[in-house]
Amino acid sequence: MGRRSTSSTKSGKFMNPTDQARKEARKRELKNKKQHMMVQAAVLKMKDPKQIIWDMGKLDEMEFNPVQQPQLNKKVLKDKRKKLRETFECILRLYEKENPDIYKELRKLEVEYEQKRANLTCYIVLNLLSGVTTMMFPAPVKMTAILRTWIKISMMTVTLTDQMEKVRGMNLYIVMIMKETTMKKKVRSKCTICRYAWKIKEEKEHEGADSSSSDDASHGCSGNP
């Protein structure tokens, strides 16, 4: 069987020139689409999914590093992670149709990556909720530390205003102390551990407030004649 003519319909009726041109354009479009899909599949097969997961892990470590500021801008990190994620999803869709065994292995890698990312995020949140950031300096120390930092993580955003602490010491000391009154919290937590840690933090604050009020009341009573 040969190719059917584009100048007539299936029933053999004549097709006007406009419909003929539209039909030819549709044939070229389908051919180009098929070639494009073949090229895209070949390019995706050349990429290493494990390397993509490793690159996303490095971006997470760079973004959530509590000691060193990220070398890249926050928007750049977000865009890089988005591109890597899209590439990984395309590879998943490709192997889901062609090789289910490889697809299952890649899904397992993705789950492990998400677990590591969640653990890293919760670790950073718990450190922030502790209320203290430490930096170690050799003795003797006499300095004024001004802390201006903006730390954004996926589950909580903390903005620190200017902090000033004068420190003296003969040994290694805590230089920078973050107080809860200087933090503006905007919690968008989906992690049970983070919510539990925040609840513990609030309970400790309430206990501290109650103890301080009771001490003030006792001092006031003792001062009265």
Find the angle CA(145)-CA(146)-CA(151) to the nearest 5 degrees: 120
User: Which whole-number Å values give the CA distances from 62 to 54, 127, 218, in the listed order?
Assistant: 12, 17, 50
pLDDT band at 223 (very low <50, low <70, confident <90, very high): very low
Encoded amino acid at 192, one letter? T
Q: How many CB atoms lie within 10 A of CB 104?
A: 12
Question: What confidence score (pLDDT) does residue 181 get?
Answer: 38
Max CA separation in the chain (angstroms): 116
Structure confidence by residue, pLDDT tens digits, 50-92: 999 999 988 888 887 767 777 778 888 889 989 999 999 999 9
- Residue 129 is which amino acid? L
The DSSP secondary structure of 154-216, one letter per residue, reads SSEEEEE--EEEEEEESS-----B--GGGEEEEE----HHHHHHHHHHHHHHHHHHHHHHHHH
Helix residue ranges per DSSP H, 47-183: 49-63, 74-98, 100-129
Q: What is the pLDDT of residues 108-132, one digit of tens each?
A: 998 998 888 888 777 766 666 555 4
d(CA 32, CA 206): 67
State the pLDDT confidence band at 7, using cuts at 50, 70 and 90.
low
Tokens at residue 206, please? 């309430």
Alpha carbon distance 185, 163 (integer Å): 16
pLDDT digits (tens, 9 = 90+) for 134-191: 444 343 333 333 333 333 333 333 333 333 333 333 333 333 333 343 343 433 444 4
Asked whether 71 and 49 are in contact (CB, 8 A), the reply is no
